[in-house]
Structure formats: C-alpha cells, structure tokens
Amino acid sequence: MTPLSHIRNFSIVAHIDHGKSTLADRLIQETNTVAERDMKAQMLDNMDIERERGITIKAQTVRINYTALNGEEYILNLIDTPGHVDFAYEVSRSMRAVEGSLLVVDSTQGVEAQTLANVYHAIDADHEIVPVLNKIDLPATDCDRVAEQIEDVIGIDASDAIRVSAKTGEGIIETLEAVVHKLPAPTGTLDAPLKAMLVDSWYDSYLGVIVLVRIMDGQLKKGERIKMLSNGSTHHVDRIGVFRPEMTEIDALGPGELGFLTASIKQVRDTSVGDTITHEKKGCTEALPGFKPSQPVVFCGLFPVDAAQFEDLRDSIEKLALNDASFSYEMETSAALGFGFRCGFLGLLHLEVIRDRIEREYDIDLITTAPSVIYDIHMRDGTVEQLHNPADMPDLTFVDHIEEPRIKATILVPDDYLGDVLKLCQDRRGIQEDLTYAGSRAMVVYDLPLNEVVFDFYDRLKSVTKGYASFDYQMIGYREDSLVKMSILVNDEPVDALSTMVHRDRAEMRGRAMVEKLKDLIPRHMFKIPIQAAIGGKVIARETLSAMRKDVTAKCYGGDASRKRKLLDKQKAGKKKMRQFGKVDIPQEAFISALKMDN
C-alpha cells in the first residue's frame, strides 16, 4: 500500500480552450504513463465528438506515477474536467473526489467567466489551488498582467504562479513538483470500516456498469460484497482497477485512492452519483454528504424524420441515458410530427451533443422542436403544476399566475463592446445587478429569464462582441411574469409543435416574425391559406399564402364580360369548398427553419 503522504489527488480546472486537456497530455507524457507510440492529442477525450469540437464533455481520470526531484515516489490521481457551463455538474462532483486543483489560465486572454465559475466550485470543496499560466510560447502572452488579474478577480495569490506552455512542454516539471509539494495529501484510516464515494458511473457492453470510486476510509478488495447506502442494494465486486489511461486491474484500493470497480451491475440507474459505498457486513452507517442531483433546465422534443425509425430512436435514447445520468426523457406524441420523446438537458450544448450523438452513432435523422424551459403554473385553487411543453398549457380561466425560471448571468467583456452587451441583456428582459472592472474588461452581472437565453443568446453575445465575451450562468429560482402561450394556426388548425411561451409585450413581434417566416416556408396549395399567430382567441398577426390558380378564362375570346365573370365565380366557389376540406402539408424543413429563432 502506498503511504497516504505519497498520494496526491488533483483536478485541472479552466475556461473553455485554455488548455486543460493539453496540459493533462503533457503530464502523462512527462511521467511516461503512456508509451510514446500510443500518445495522441487530447489523450483523455475519448468520444469522437469531444475530439472534433475540441471540448471535454465527461470528466476523465488517470493515475500517474511520478518520481520527484528529491527521489521519492508519488502516485498522482488526475481528473481532467470539462470547462463548459453545461457540464458544470461534472466539475462540481469531480471536485469532491480530490483535495487540490490546478487553475489553468490562458496567459494571453486572462480570467474568463467560466474560470470564475470553476474556481468557485473548487473553493466550495475547500481545495488548495495552484495557479498555472498557460500558453507562454505565444507572442501575445502577458503573465504579469494576468497574474495581477487572478489576484484582483479571484483573490488567490498568483505571485509565484507556474508559467507553462502545454504545447511545447515548458514548465511541466515545475507543475509536477508544485502538485507534490503544494497540494495536500489525502486523509483516511486504513483500519476504519470502508467508506467510498461514488464519483461517476458509465455503461460498458462487456463489463456492465463501471463505477469510479474514491476511497475515504478503509480498504476495498476484489471478491468482497459491497452495499450502496442510498438504496441498500448489495453487489459482489468482480474486479478493481485504476486508469493509466487504459484500465489496469489491481487487487485492492486503499484510503485516498481513486479507482474503478465492476460488480455485474446491470443499469447505471442503480448507481446514483454521490452515493456512499461500504461493506455489506461491518460497514459504515453514516453516508458522505452527497451532491445535489443535476436538474435538467432545457426541454425539447426529439422526433424521427422517418416515423418507421421510432423504435431505433427509443433504443438509442435508452443507451445514451445509461451513460448520462443528467439526461431525462419521456414519450410524447404530436399531431404534426408523430411519435417522439420529450427530453431534458442541462443546457443547449448538452442538447446539441446528445442530438449529434444520436444522429451519428445510431444513424437516425431527427427533428428537434423549439427548446423550452419548465414553467410553474399557479392555479386558482392553490395547486402548482409544472409545464414542460407549451402545447399542454391548461385553460387560462383556472390559472392565477405563471412563474418562469431566472438565472444569474456573469459576462466578462472588453470595454469597447460593453454598450452592445448591455443592450442585448436589456432586450432580453434582463435586470442589471452589478458592473465592475477587472483591468480593461468589464464584469457585468445580470438577472435574466432563462427562456430568453435558451434560444440564441450565446450566439448573439458572441456576434456583438466579435467572440471576445465570456459567459457563465447559474439558476437562481422562479419569478412571476406576464407570460402567454402563443399558438400558430395554419388554415385555422393549430400546429402544436410550433406553440411557444412568450412575454406578453413581445408576443406581437414574435408572432409577426413567425408567420412571415412560415409564409416563405410553406409551399403554395390550390387554395389560399391563412397563417395566424394567436393568444387564446385573439389573433395578433396574420399572413395569407395566395393560391395557385388555373386560368379558367383562357378559352374566352371576346364576348360579354359576364361570361368570364361566371367562370371566375364558379372557380371561386370551388376554391372555397376546397379550403374547407383541403389538408395543408407543412414540410419538415419548414418546422426546423421556423423553430430556429433569429433575432
């Protein structure tokens, strides 16, 4: 057993693209954890989509053996965490499994919004934090300014921050030495009853569920029977091991160590993240303080373009849900789109990633409906209902008021673009709470409705600031507002897939934009089609799609005008009858384009 004083558990936290995964690559390479011939960029990102987008989605762990300059052997357990706001849940739980963090900041860009969010996760978990300034090989690097910024904005002493280039490998030895000498060793007792924290779990088609654990006290050996404290289920441990990044089996895990176990568990649902694992007999009785379960924030419908693929879609969603505990789904039907699923996500990037994985890994073409958030509907009789889909809105006569989710958004932006950002937030019904400066950059804090952020806020923010702004948010609760359901009627028939919740003041503008868009998207029929946006029984916007018509008067040469009139009136009556019985075909592309809200 390695003595506790020679174990270090740490994570790497940073904003998106500040070089976490590249730094992890260099640490693995420097310590010869992986043979040179097996090294590849983003070693720990093993999903195709992670490599393509250059982002980390799942937190990954690796065990590194390091001989320090003083000749002593250390075991370092590293967790590489995601930087994106949608996966902050992964970050917060990885933090509980380790004692220290390397805070990576890009020495050309400085502190960004997500840097702050991730550091606060680390501070909440009582971490020792070592600042690392990355990308010192770039000409635009300015370490002194960024170190000062870290001290001003975060309040961590950065005077002796390690200067690193994860690309060239400069400063990597200093980073490893800092991990060994500045970060605390884990605590734990070998003789105490087993107490292990379940950090993560995912499904493997050969081994069943693989569980990532951090041993707090006691020892876990192969062949023992373990018990999950949250649901009391017991399992027999088949194998125990560590990641060097590939799985390597060992006989036992002691206190302070991170590793994995498999115990023929069939479903990921049987293992709740943050649970405490102990021995079936003579186990500990007190559970570790777990994590809050992740709450889905954004909901949207996923429907197959080809209705025959519904069963394939069901299989693919069930398989994805095995590996992603934060993704929830239930079946739903829609008159326009047929059978599909209503799914819950942590944010828009999470939604995109799941959608891409279904289309890619299972080869299913999908239609996604407009993303919406959960509203609290307060009824007159005092009950509260949750509304996931605007199409299910109850009758307004029974509704007292509607509350919508609000977020606290932190935006860091260069001074030149501040006006545009403030205007964007005001346009989205934001309430300004704070405006401070960190060097030449402004830090704006806004209280915003999540509904306005879900559609395209991030894209708009990036475009008005030429990509320089960084954005982070957290949920702060619900607040009452004047919200209404806007329905779209095509030929007097409501189209449930296009109904959305909007603010009363914005309804007319949104409605007009939507019907103008649909007028261009729906092909012309033999009869004229009214396209309307309505709130309840009141139509707020209308466009009419004119009919294709045959020239019935073509054969009339000369003669009396009443002859032509008679033919035209006959045609008119036929069109009127046709409109009563005619069915309007709305093509799939029209749905997809109409749901993409522009400005």
The predicted model scores a pTM of 0.67
Point out which residues pair with 259 in neighbouring strands: 213
Is 372 assigned a ligand-binding role in the annotation? no
pLDDT at position 352 is 79
pLDDT at position 278 is 82
**What are the residue ranges of helices labelled H in 428-560?**
450-464, 507-521
pLDDT band at 501 (very low <50, low <70, confident <90, very high): confident
Mean pLDDT of the chain: 79
Contact in structure between 312 and 362 (CB atoms under 8 Å): yes
Using the predicted structure, report yes or no on whether residue 202 has a pLDDT greater than 80: no
Residue 17, burial from CB neighbour count under 10 angstroms (0-12, 13-18, 19+) = middle
Which range, of 138-147, 262-271, 406-415, 532-541, averages the lowest pLDDT? 262-271
pLDDT at position 149 is 82
pLDDT band at 585 (very low <50, low <70, confident <90, very high): low
Superfamily of domain 484-595: Elongation factor 4, C-terminal domain (3.30.70.2570)
Is 136 assigned a ligand-binding role in the annotation? yes
Is 19 assigned a ligand-binding role in the annotation? yes
Using the predicted structure, report yes or no on whether residue 599 has a pLDDT greater than 50: no
Using the predicted structure, report yes or no on whether residue 454 has a pLDDT greater than 60: yes
Q: How far apart are CA 202 and CA 60, in angstroms?
A: 12
pLDDT band at 25 (very low <50, low <70, confident <90, very high): confident
**Structure confidence by residue, pLDDT tens digits, 91-118:** 667 777 888 888 888 888 888 767 777 7
Contact in structure between 23 and 12 (CB atoms under 8 Å): yes
pLDDT at position 41 is 59
Distances (CA, A) of 594 to 282, 390, 444: 61, 16, 32
Contact in structure between 196 and 213 (CB atoms under 8 Å): yes
Is 503 assigned a ligand-binding role in the annotation? no
**Structure confidence by residue, pLDDT tens digits, 126-136:** 888 888 888 88
pLDDT at position 58 is 56
Using the predicted structure, report yes or no on whether residue 177 has a pLDDT greater than 80: yes
Is 582 assigned a ligand-binding role in the annotation? no
For the chain, how many residues are written? Answer: 599
**What are the residue ranges of helices labelled H in 60-216?**
88-96, 113-124, 143-153, 172-182
Q: Which residue has the tokens 């960084």?
A: 470
Using the predicted structure, report yes or no on whether residue 55 has a pLDDT greater than 60: no
Is 18 assigned a ligand-binding role in the annotation? yes
pLDDT band at 356 (very low <50, low <70, confident <90, very high): confident
Architecture of domain 298-361: 2-Layer Sandwich (3.30)
pLDDT band at 592 (very low <50, low <70, confident <90, very high): low
Is 115 assigned a ligand-binding role in the annotation? no
195-279 and 484-595 in the same fold = no
486: helix, strand or coil: strand
Contact in structure between 170 and 200 (CB atoms under 8 Å): no
Mean pLDDT of all residues in 237-246: 82
pLDDT at position 238 is 86
Using the predicted structure, report yes or no on whether residue 29 has a pLDDT greater than 60: yes
- All structural domains of the chain with their residue ranges: 4-182, 195-279, 298-361, 376-481, 484-595
For the stretch 494-531, what's the b/e string if a residue is b when 16 or more beta carbons lie within 10 angstroms of its beta carbon?
Answer: ebbbbbbbbbeebbeebbebbbebbbebbeebebbbeb
Does 3.30.1360.200 match the CATH number of domain 376-481? Answer: no
pLDDT band at 506 (very low <50, low <70, confident <90, very high): confident
CATH classification code of 195-279: 2.40.30.10
**Structure confidence by residue, pLDDT tens digits, 313-335:** 888 888 777 666 677 888 888 76
Mean pLDDT of all residues in 576-583: 66
Tokens, residue 295? 């709450």
Contact in structure between 264 and 235 (CB atoms under 8 Å): yes
Is 137 assigned a ligand-binding role in the annotation? yes
Q: H or E stretch including 361?
A: helix 348-361
Is 22 assigned a ligand-binding role in the annotation? yes
Is 67 assigned a ligand-binding role in the annotation? no
Using the predicted structure, report yes or no on whether residue 598 has a pLDDT greater than 50: no
CATH class entry, domain 4-182: alpha beta
